[in-house]
Structure 1
């Protein structure tokens, strides 16, 4: 039986008694093998992920690392150039040797920048320029090619890689 003077719960005015220290013993071999197992697991995951991605098609943006030089022609149907020089005049004065050629991916990210080469006359009022943009990343579903500020034209990857890009401006 409990007396009314014996406390059944700890006295709230008394500070708590510290617990006796717990002695733990860590075996160094356990730590060594746990570290070795962790390193083996990380290595296995790394190799597994690398093998999983090695057979997959390249991701957008050409993550495979392969590149190619986009080549083709740009035909300007205009008038006003002399027989010794080939280039645009009037509304087409921005089209000449060295005019910027920009290649974009579907999202509008610039992939490469090149230029028009020397143009050659090809009939009355027509000038044909070589077109080139180096180191275009492979693996895109399509490419958008823009000469100067004249708008982006969609080009299929097969044509881009084969040098069969043929763009035209003017009537």
Structure 2
């Protein structure tokens, strides 16, 4: 069986395969990469203290999904606010995962600053809050992410600007 040539085929320029210029969020590592990088960091946790911040966007309106321009602005401000050895990924459609070296108290300060900075973008109805958890030896990436996400959900219930650090055993 032979395959016939398709005379109507169209060659697309490479630029049509790239995300739009204002969609920088799509360039961030996704949830699978976040999990893999978190697992690597947990192995080094005894020697290099660290923390995970899950920063979540909040909106006062009910429209879904968040506008690309709002996500791009939030992504840019978060990326510019981090240090060179911090790691940024996307853990959900409206959530960023930030792995920081240092104490969990340092991460709380950074999370508070990040949430405030997103609010200061002055995008109508857009705010942020965060869940923070220390990286602990012997804890899996999935459990660490669960703890940070649980803290984020608690912070979201309290409103924009809130940062909750995981302290429990739930």
Normalized per residue, the structure richer in strand is: 1
TM-score using structure 1 length: 0.32
Normalized per residue, the structure richer in helix is: 2
Q: Which has the larger radius of gyration?
A: 1
TM-score using structure 2 length: 0.32
Return the structure number with greater relative CO, CA threshold 8 A, min gap 6: 2
